[in-house]
Structure 1
Amino acid sequence: MAASTSNPLLSSQKSSELQAVLHPLVLLTISDYITRHTLRQQQGPIIGALLGQQNGREITIEHAFEAHTRESPNTEGGYLLDADKFSARLDQSQASPSRLIL
């Protein structure tokens, strides 16, 4: 008889923690945005939105898009989110009413 050994890579316990499922296209979108921001030598933070669904303790991240910013005239070194562009892009991205901003 072979002795049973435990494999540290396999779990026999059910996890009660939050689980996130990430669509590969989200990674490509984020990578593309960071690459363009860097190659264009743009200043300021890299900001975006993640859209997806939540079903109990499972979150599915299905879509991502960049959020445009502009320099804040009142704060040195500060940036503001361009709310009009963000709202317009959010409206375009929400094809399904079950999608949430994550």
Structure 2
Amino acid sequence: MQLIHPDPEDFALTDVLSALGNPIRLEVVRRLNQGEHLNCTTALPHMPQSTASHHWRVLRESGLLQQTREGRVITMTLRKADIDKRFPGLLDAVVAPKGQAL
């Protein structure tokens, strides 16, 4: 199965905000933004695979996540540069720790 990623010019603000509106997906984005290296198995180990796959699809299709297949493992990378180019400052504002002023 090929993983399809949108081009940055096709990112929709509503899709990005909707993806980030889920606390599980927001936490994954925060972890990736802090430099954690995650794959589909390690990111949400206690979640059923079908539920985790749904979260990955939403993040990937919104443009927030780049998934790369490496053998049987799919690694995830935050598309920070692409998001920042399309929506400057949005990601930093949303993933900032609670109570931290920008």
TM-score after normalising by structure 2 = 0.21
Larger Rg belongs to: 1
* Structure with the largest fraction of strand: 1
* Structure with the largest fraction of helix: 2
Higher RCO (C-alpha under 8 Å, 6+ residues apart): 2
